[in-house]
Amino acid sequence: MTAAPSHPDGLALLAWLDSVWMPLLLAVAAFAAGVLNAIAGGGSFLTFPALVFAGVPPIVANATSALAVSPGYLGSTLGFRAELAQLPFQRLRRETLIAAAGGVAGALLLLVTPAQVFQGLIPWLLLFATALFMLGPWLVNRRPPPEGQAHPAARWRDTGLAGVAVYGGYFNGGLGILLMALYTVTGEKNLHTTNALKNLNSLVLSILSVITFAIAGAIAWGPAILMMVAATAGGYVGARWSKRLPIVWVRGVVIATGLVMSALFFWRG
């Protein structure tokens, strides 16, 4: 019996579509993530699933996604130079060292997590990050104690920062909300100072976790470079749009995206 003829033209077309559409998908996801991060946060809800959909293994996708969105932290930190300059150097040094150590610890924890275990955790992590984003306004607007009174939870700030940094090194989703909530509930009264510390520590722990991933060979460099460029462009556009779009619309899009992505990963098993 004669074997069925192959169709090299069809295979070539599929290969061409894959080579064109997958990079386009990653670039669009990263650009949209840059826009979202500049306006309201939640960009990793797009970059991480896009990488997994493109066939990147989940742990490598998580590491690559962390690198892709990292340039935005630098710009945000530079935007709060004045607020950071007003804080005691000893405090900044202590907190950045804690963030750095936590970021490395979280990255190492991810690298030793079995791929199947992490794949099972993905929908729960996405759902947790989405819940944090939904509760974000309530968390960051909790009232501090009256002027002149020490906050009873202030002594737990460093411990809380270490825990949040480990989470950020392991899975970046919802990191900014966690840091904002941590500083607010432990007595930081100035919103601009809270934002400055959030951006600085996000930058530090992200850089250290990404370096750890890079040394371990856990980053897909081609997609990472493409997505970094697209995310930076998206951040620039998002900064301009942030003055025009109602924040409630953007938050609604981020929350819907997080819920849909969580459901898809639950469905995938």
pLDDT tens by residue, 224-233: 999 999 988 8
User: From its phi and psi, is residue 95 left (phi > 0), alpha (psi between -120 and 50) or beta?
Assistant: alpha
With tokens 């996801």, the residue in question is 29
Question: Tens digits of per-residue pLDDT, 179-237?
Answer: 887 887 777 777 788 888 988 998 899 999 999 999 999 999 999 999 999 988 888 88
> Are the beta carbons of 50 and 257 closer than 8 angstroms?
no
pTM of the model: 0.78
- For residue 178, CA distances in Å to 131, 168, 173, 261 come to 11, 9, 10, 20
